[in-house]
Each structure stands twice: as structure tokens, then as C-alpha cells.
Homo-oligomer: A and B are copies of this chain.
Amino acid sequence: MNDVTFRCDCPISSALDLLGDKWTLVIIKQMLLENRRTFKDFLEADEGIATNILSTRLKWLESLDLITKEKLPDNKKVNIYRLTEKGLSSTPIIIELAIWSDKNLRQLHPILQESNAMIHTDKQGLIDHLITNYRKQNLE
């Protein structure tokens, strides 16, 4: 992990020193739920991130070991970004943001609507399912 300045010893505030901004968790969400994995994939997402901000945030995520960057064997020009286990372990935070939003802002993420019942009856099961599914599609 690169040198991060933590503002104090509180572990929650320290987590927010890493994840507490407008983009870091959004990019993780795009990878986890929308299966985005190339620079172009992220640029095309609804959030409309600017190219320079995306570059900076991907470097930030990589420096924190939340994602890795690799070339495809058959196309050396395209970088593929993948969540690490550390990145995947933020899944429960993302699910709780989705639930908070569902309660206070707007309806569930389309991907999570498919498992609407599950998010309310078996949250841990949904989290495990998303992580297992991501590993299967990307890490094996």
C-alpha cells in the first residue's frame, strides 16, 4: 500500500481516508455489479467520469491494492482492471449504501432488484453470492 496520511487512529475515519470520496466506491461498484473492467467500460458508465479523474482514481485504487491492472494475453493494448480480495471485501459497504439509498433516496440498483427479496431476507447470502460470482467471472 502506498503512503496514506491517516488523520487519526479511528479505524472508521481511516477507512474513509481511503474510500471516502465521490469516486472510489463508485468504481468498485461498477466492477462488482456491472462487470466493467476496461478504461473504456468505466468511461461509458452512466456516472460519466472524466478521463483525467478516472486515471487518477484507478491509480489510487491500484496503489491501495483494491484493484490490479493486467494486459489481456491476446490484446496487449488493453488494460484489464480486477478487484482484489481486499477490494471485494468492501462489498458489504456497497450493499449497505444500496439499502440506505433504497430507504431514503430511490429504488434499488437494477442488478440488485433481481435479488430484491434476498437483500431483505438474506443480506449475507447476497453478499456471498456477489463475491463468489465476481471471483468466478474474473479471478479464476
Contact = CB atoms under 8 A, between A and B. Distances in A.
B8 A100 contact: no
A13 B49 CA distance: 12
Interface stretch (A35-43, A54-62, A75-83, A91-99): A91-99
B97 A16 contact: yes
Given A19-B97, A93-B100, A105 B7 contact: no
A103 interface: yes
Interface string A18-37: 11111101100100010000
A120 interface: no
Interface in A44-84: 46-48
Contacts of A105: 11, 14-15, 18
